[in-house]
Structure 1
Amino acid sequence: MESKLAQFSILNQKDKGPAFISLIPEILAKPNAAASADLNTLVKTVVNQESVGLVVGRQVLTELVKILGDGTVKDTELRKCLVEDTLATIQPRIVSYEEQVNSLRFQLADLLEGEEEWSDAARVLMGISFDSGQRAIGDADKLRVYVRIVRLLLEDEDSVQAETYYNRAALLVHSTNDRETLLQFKLCQARISDYGRKFLEAASRYHELSYVGEIDEEERRHMLVAAVTCAVLAPAGPNRSRVLASLYRDERTVDLPTYNILSKMFLDHILRPSEIKEFEKTLKPHQLAKIAISSNDRLASASHENSPPNVNEPAASTRTGPSTVLDRAVMEHNLLASSKIYNNITFRGLGALLDLTPGAAETMARKMIEQGRLRGFIDQVDKLIWFEGNQEDDAQGKAGGLGDVEEAEDTGAPFTKRWDTQIRLTAAHVESIVQQLNKKGLVPLVASTA
């Protein structure tokens, strides 16, 4: 091999390129170890020898990249080894061969992704140079690479680094109309929100994607499941109620394994420990992350430990706060659900309901009231939490924006039936107003023509 390379090196400049290229199929036909060694020698010769020249070097490497990419080398491990060795040889002179290096990186990333080496594939793509002097790379191509990097990093749950590249992609998303790229970006957006514990945003985006016809049906089902999971984990309050209402009214959720907990949360039923454990089995590791309790909350949670217990109340728990994201979501939901049942409740009674110390239960209720997620007030003298009764959920709204008109009796019907009741009530009010105006002669009746 060395003798042939030496002979080709002294040829005329226009003959060197075809001569070196003719060696590539011959080398790749050899056994694995010999092919790898000889190809490495060829690449070193065309890249490092001044007599070969930059033009010939680019010509040979471009043909080599093409042959490696068209499936000539059937052995995946050999192909991976050849690509890695070629990249290592070219690396010191990457400025002169940026286009060829980028193509090799794409090939290596494909191979690593096929082996489910997600982080390694992402790191290979991170090394791609977008400011190549040989060929300008457009914003749409940059966006596709960034979205792919985000997707690969999220497969290994590296959400911190994934968010960095997601932010870069967000600056370029306007540069393309390619439907596939935009859908992949939206999915990355939903997953970034999910990993960042922005569960309301994630639920809305997953639910939106679950309607997209271009996505495979099984994938749409996974997105619908993810939307329900994120909605359950979201902070209790009016905003979550809107998302839960949207999912509850989606007829596809009836067949989901998480429908039971979705319906109970939407209907403001208190969740039992057995139901929570069943739901917990469906969660991903990042959704079971531990949460820390601040020192102020820990002090407030312990403030009622020395208060004398009431004989009519259950024994107080020793927990000073939720330990996981799911814990917090369930406790806040049960607190909100209890506000639909009770007019008021003692700190100790609420603590028994939530499995918290009385002080921790008061702290959770105080935070929810401060944030507008719970209607009520706290009487610290009598150690009572008062809930504001007969209030409609913000998710339901008022028919026609009329506000608090005279309401029909609340029979506990689903929100759709309450909405219909309000529409009938509004129509009755309009008819009553017209009749009053007619009696005073302000609106003349128009005779109907048969």
Structure 2
Amino acid sequence: MESKLVQFSSLSQKDKAPAYLSLIPEVLSQSDQPAIAANLHTLVDTVVNQESVGLVIGRQVLSEIVKNLEAGAIPSSGLRKRIVEDTLATIQPHIVSYEEQVNSLRYQLADLLESEEEWSEAARVLMGISVDSGQRALPDEEKLRLYIRIVRLLLEEEDSVQAETYYNRAASVVHSTNDKETLLQFKLCQARISDYARKFLEAAMRYHELSWVAEIDEEERREILSAAVTCAVLAPAGPNRSRVLASLYRDERSAELPTFNILSKMFLDHILRPAEIKSFEEKLRPHQLAKIAISSNDQLASTIDDDDLSEPNASTRRGPATVLDRAVMEHNLLASSKIYNNITFRGLGGLLDLTPGAAETMARKMIEQGRLKGFIDQVDKLIWFDDGKEEDDAQGKAGGLGDVEQSTEDTGAPFTKRWDMQIRMTAANVDSIVQHLAEKGLVNMVDVAA
């Protein structure tokens, strides 16, 4: 090989290209695999690093090598992977001059790594592809496919942070295509990103929408529907989740899912038992069991009524530990509001396996966010629930017993606002009374001001 390359170096530029190209089939036809790798390395090193060869010839030779590798000229995936990696390393100092060939080699290497389930390595290889260089910028449609593939690979490794970065890049160019398959892949990435970001309500709606797409394989649609149920269960309790649960409960396909039992109990506002929760927990993925931290304000509020902890079997938990914990506790609190007119802090704590103060804190937050109808009597340590018979309550609207009005939930603090209004009205009334007394000469305004 080396003697031929030395001989070719003395040829004219016109004859060099055919000479070098003639070596490629000769090298690939060898039976000795190590010899194939060594000879291809020598050939690539010569055409890329020797100035006498020239850039035009170098590109022609590299393009032919890439074409042969892509066509399966080397059956062994291990040898092919080794050659592609070695070729990329050899070209690296001159990568700007051979962008098109480098991009093709990176796609091939990513395919090989993906077949070996090396998801993060395959994603890293694809990240190195140049998409906006001055010499060859990729069309937006090709960028979109590349970004979607990177997102999919990163999500296989549960790297949701980096996946979201590339998902945002894909979202900026998604308008560039009308290809159904590409758009479906983008929507699936959208749902999975919402799932990993713990936007479970949004993820459930997206999964359920995709589960009806006829172009998707039936078994895969079943898995997507199962993911929709799981996300709906994990979503924050309230009217919006109730609407999603109702939609999934009425889907006749849901009855065949292993998670149908917990879906039906949540839809029907039945209190969930520890054994049912444990069974459901076994089906969750790691990110759906993520630990959650309790804020310092909630920790402080949960210390109220610590005297009750001296009672036997009293819970010492000051808040939910995981995403599933929080979803179940909020659901059981909402379910108890359908059963009881009122409940003590201690009784609710026993139901939710929380301290009385932590139970009150959870109820207060749900009331403030408009996800629970009721009010809190801190003097008597009672939580009073509204009867829930209004037309627009969570179950009525969600269950389809009335028309669903699409309106944004009030996520403010209505009881704080009401208290502020009462203070302002009281101050205004006092001022009005003082002015009336002053007009009658019963009060001296100077004395009042002093």
TM above 0.5, yes or no, is: yes
TM-score, normalized by length of structure 1? 0.87
The 8 Å contact of residues 243 and 399 in structure 2, kept in 1 or not, is answered as: no
1:377 correspondence with 2:378: no
SS of residue matched to 2:294: coil
Q: Which residue of 2 aligns with 1:255?
A: 256
Distance 1:334 1:65 in 2: 61
SS of residue matched to 2:155: helix
SS of residue matched to 1:372: coil
Gaps of 5+ in 1: 399-413, 421-450
SS of residue matched to 1:10: coil
The 8 Å contact of residues 316 and 358 in structure 1, kept in 2 or not, is answered as: no
Distance 1:206 1:390 in 2: 30
Q: Which residue of 2 aligns with 1:323?
A: 321
SS of residue matched to 1:149: helix
Q: Which residue of 1 aligns with 2:26?
A: 26
Matches within 5 A, 1:96-245: 96-245=97-246
Give the aligned residue type for 2:67.
Answer: K
SS of residue matched to 1:96: helix
Q: Runs of 4 or more off by more than 2 Å in structure 1?
A: 131-136, 307-310, 390-398
Give the aligned residue type for 2:58.
Answer: G
Matches within 5 A, 1:86-101: 86-101=87-102
Distance 1:321 1:16 in 2: 75
SS of residue matched to 1:345: strand
Q: Which residue of 1 aligns with 2:385?
A: 387
C-alpha deviation, 1:106, in angstroms: 0.4
Give the aligned residue type for 1:327.
Answer: D
Distance 2:135 2:4 in 1: 30
The 8 Å contact of residues 315 and 352 in structure 1, kept in 2 or not, is answered as: no
Q: Which residue of 1 aligns with 2:299?
A: 298
C-alpha deviation, 1:394, in angstroms: 3.7
The 8 Å contact of residues 308 and 314 in structure 2, kept in 1 or not, is answered as: no
C-alpha deviation, 1:397, in angstroms: 5.7
SS of residue matched to 1:385: strand
Distance 1:7 1:364 in 2: 83
Matches within 5 A, 1:357-436: 357-392=355-390, 394-395=393-394, 415=399, 418-419=401-402
C-alpha deviation, 1:133, in angstroms: 4.3
C-alpha deviation, 1:32, in angstroms: 1.6
SS of residue matched to 2:328: helix
Distance 1:277 1:379 in 2: 34
The 8 Å contact of residues 47 and 90 in structure 1, kept in 2 or not, is answered as: yes
Distance 1:300 1:396 in 2: 30
Q: Which residue of 2 aligns with 1:15?
A: 15
Going from structure 1 to structure 2, the CA distance change for 1:371 and 1:390 (only over 3 Å counts) comes to closer
The 8 Å contact of residues 200 and 230 in structure 1, kept in 2 or not, is answered as: yes
Gaps of 5+ in 2: 404-450
After superposition, give the CA deviation of every residue in 1:270-310 in whole Å (9 maximum; x if it has no partner).
00001000100110011011111112111111111125989
SS of residue matched to 1:94: helix
Q: Which residue of 2 aligns with 1:82?
A: 83
